[in-house]
Amino acid sequence: MTAPLIDPFQRAVNYLRVSVTDRCDFRCVYCMAENMTFLPKKELLTLEELDRMCSTFIRLGVEKLRITGGEPLVRRDIMTFFRAMKRHLDSGDLRELTLTTNGSQLERFAGELYDCGVRRVNISLDTIDEAKFAEITRWGRLPQVMRGIDAAQEAGLRIKINAVALKGFNEDELFTLAEWCHDRDMDITWIEVMPMGDLGNEDRLDQYWPLSDLRNQLATRYTLTDLAERTGGPARYVRLEETGQKIGFITPLTHNFCESCNRVRLTCTGQLFMCLGQEDMADLRAPLRDSSEGEGKLEEAIRAAIRLKPKGHDFDYSRQKVDGQMSRHMSHTGG
C-alpha cells in the first residue's frame, strides 16, 4: 500500500487540490451564479475528516497540497486545518502547502498562514480598477483585497496573481497589470476563461479572449523569451526581457496541457475529480466514514480512482460553440 499513485498513462499523481468549502464572499461572474444555492453544511467533510483525507493522500505520495474553495478562508476555523497540516511539512512528507484565495481575508490570516508553513499564495484578481472589480465580482471590494496583498507581503508570503482573460473587460489593463505586478515584485499568470457552470447569465463564448492574442499584444511592447520552466502544472512561462518579470499562460482551450498532468481535485463533500474538464468522479466520503478497519478502504478507493484518470479534457471553443462544457460551477470543484 506504499506504492506511489500512478495513473493509466504512467503519470505520477503527487499534487492534490482540496476545496474546503463551496462558499465565497464574492460572486465572480465566470465562477458562480449571483444567487447561488450552497451545499448544506452537513454534507461537507468536517475539518477532522479533511485532515484524515489529506493525510492519506500524503501517505500515498502526494507532496503538494493546495487549498481552494469557493474562498477557503471563509470556512469557520479553517486555520485549525492549516495548523494540522503543518506536521506533514515538519516531517518532510509534504513538500508544499499553499492556497488559492480571492485575497479578501488575507489581512486577517496572512501571518498565521506563514506560521503554518505556507510560503506562496495565488490571488485571483482580474482587474485593479475599483469599479470594474465590483462589476466582475458582484460583491467584492477592491480596497479590502489590496490590504490583504499588503498583509501577505508583510508576512513574507510570495504572491502570484491569477487573472482570467476576459474579452472586452480587462483587455485594456494588460500592460497596467503587468507593470503593477512588476512594481510589487509579483508574478502574474493569465488564464483563459473555462466553460464551467450555468451559462444562462454569462456567455463564455463572448468572454473568450485567446491568450495567443494577449501574448501578441504583450510582444508589441516587450521582448518575450519562452522559459523551459515547468512546475508540474498547466502554466507555460515567458520572461519580459525589459523588466525581467515572469508571466504565465494557462491555455486549456488553445493548448492542451494534459500530457504532464500530475493532479487530482477533491471537493468539500469528498468527491474526487480526476480531471477538471471531465464529469467522472469518485466518492471518497463513504469509504472515509467507513473506517472500522482503519484507512484501508479509503486507500483502495483512492487507488481505484487514480486508475480511472483520463488522458485529458474536452474543452473546445473552436467550432463557435462551447463544447466540453461542465455542468458544475468552478466553485464546486475548486479553483
Could you tell me which residues are annotated as the binding site?
17, 24, 28, 30-31, 66, 70, 100, 124, 160, 194, 258, 261, 263-265, 275
> How many beta carbons lie within 10 A of that of residue 298, not counting itself?
23
| Annotation: binding site for [4Fe-4S] cluster | 24, 28, 31, 258, 261, 275
Sign, Cα dihedral of 216, 220, 226, 231: negative
**What grid cell was written down for 172?**
485594456
228: exposed, middle or buried (Cβ count in 10 Å: 0-12, 13-18, 19+): exposed
**What grid cell was written down for 270?**
469528498
- Cβ atoms of 166 and 139 closer than 8 Å: no
- Cβ atoms of 262 and 15 closer than 8 Å: yes
Give pairs for 290-295: CB < 8 Å, separation 24+.
291/52, 295/52, 295/56
**What grid cell was written down for 11?**
503519470
- Cβ atoms of 244 and 238 closer than 8 Å: no
- Cβ atoms of 317 and 324 closer than 8 Å: no
- Cβ atoms of 215 and 251 closer than 8 Å: no
| Annotation: binding site for GTP | 17, 66, 100, 160, 263-265
| Annotation: binding site for S-adenosyl-L-methionine | 30, 70, 124, 194
- Cβ atoms of 290 and 276 closer than 8 Å: no
**Amino acid at residue number 21:** T
- Cβ atoms of 257 and 276 closer than 8 Å: no
> How many beta carbons lie within 10 A of that of residue 131, not counting itself?
9
CA quadruple 56, 293, 81, 125: dihedral, nearest 10: 50
Among residues 273, 271, 223, 277, the alpha carbon closest in space to that of 250 is found at 277
CA 312 to chain centre: 18
